[in-house]
Amino acid sequence: MQHDRRAAGGPRFRDLELAAGQSATFGRGTGGVPVDVPLGDPGVSRLAGRIRPVEDHWVISNLSRSATIVVENPEGAGEFVKVAPRRADMPVPFEFSRVVVPAARGPVSFLVFAPEHLYLDAGAADDGEDATTAAFPLDETSKYFRVLVALCEPRLLDASSVVIPSVPGIIERLGGGPTRPAVNFHIDYLARKKLRVKEPAGGAKADWQRAALVALALKFNLVREEHLELLPPPDGSPPCAPGPVRCTDEPAEGSRPT
């Protein structure tokens, strides 16, 4: 854990290491209520919260009666989780986090570096004889996948964005190569065949397909920040850089996309 102490007039940063089973408190602190991470602002509770490492992750408790604490992912695309007042031992999904506490002179924060998360062997075979069918069989080298990445780009860059790119916007983002019928074809193909999104009951806005594709793709991590490399640079460079992405002719309406 790393605490920025500029406001307190001390060293630039203070490090505090915690082992599993240990904990650290944070807040304004007083003589009678000492804390491990002092946040010197009159708007911060004397005992605002507590963090505790648990094997390969960590948990946070908000001990304040009224203030909501925010835990941000500095390495992501604006992801954050909110810790409601009096919430105890909430697991935090980020390895690298910034804990932000509201204060009178502006939010104060400190950083938490958690152990690397554990993952199962990706090459391990499923039990039994029958192979598992992919729930969302997407080909990341296809043109329709680049259309999906272009749709998700605003939300990947800023999780709070409500922008859903239009068809002309997607064409422009892909370097002006695909035609409007081709982009519409790819969107419809993704919606009906690949991600199988459903039209909301009671009618929907004209962009419901695009909005539903973005929501589902990001919800299940089908499109991630590294996929933005499949798009051409914003400076207008050619969209098909060397690599796994195929550059194919646009499909005619009614044909199967690549």
Buried b (16+ CB within 10 A) or exposed e, 174-190: bbeebeeebbbbbbebb
Which of 112, 23, 119 has the alpha carbon at shortest distance from 69? 112
DSSP letters of 60-102? EEE--SSPPEEEE-TTTTS-EEEE-TT--SEEE--SEEEEEE-
pTM over cut 0.85: no
User: How many alpha carbons fall within 13 Å on the CB side of residue 227?
Assistant: 26
Backbone angles phi, psi at 146, to 5 degrees: -65, -35
Q: What mean pLDDT do residues 77-84 have?
A: 86
Q: For position 255, what pLDDT does the model report?
A: 44
State pLDDT tens for residues 118-151.
Answer: 767 666 555 556 667 788 889 898 889 999 999 9
**CA dihedral (98, 15, 101, 94) positive or negative:** positive
Q: For position 23, what pLDDT does the model report?
A: 94
- Cα–Cα distance between 151 and 130 in angstroms, integer? 34
Q: What mean pLDDT do residues 2-30 have?
A: 71
Q: For position 31, what pLDDT does the model report?
A: 84
Average pLDDT, rounded, for the chain: 82
State pLDDT tens for residues 179-237.
Answer: 999 899 899 989 988 999 988 776 666 788 999 999 999 999 999 999 999 999 876 55
Highest mean pLDDT among 5-9, 24-28, 181-185, 236-240: 24-28
The pLDDT of residue 156 is above 60: yes
Q: Which two tokens stand for residue 110?
A: 């400190």
The one-character DSSP state at 54 is E
Whether 147 and 183 have beta carbons less than 8 Å apart is answered as yes
Q: For position 151, what pLDDT does the model report?
A: 96
Backbone angles phi, psi at 97, to 5 degrees: -135, 155
- Cα–Cα distance between 221 and 224 in angstroms, integer? 6
State pLDDT tens for residues 210-221.
Answer: 999 999 999 999
Whether 79 and 73 have beta carbons less than 8 Å apart is answered as yes
Can you give the length of the chain in residues? 258
pLDDT band at 83 (very low <50, low <70, confident <90, very high): very high
Q: For position 77, what pLDDT does the model report?
A: 62
Q: For position 160, what pLDDT does the model report?
A: 85
The pLDDT of residue 13 is above 80: no
Q: For position 237, what pLDDT does the model report?
A: 55
State pLDDT tens for residues 47-73.
Answer: 999 999 987 789 999 999 999 999 998
Which of 176, 168, 161, 149 has the alpha carbon at shortest distance from 250? 176
Q: Which stretches does DSSP call E strand in 69-185?
A: 69-72, 80-83, 90-92, 96-101, 108-113
Q: For position 248, what pLDDT does the model report?
A: 37
Longest Cα pair distance anywhere in the chain, in angstroms? 75
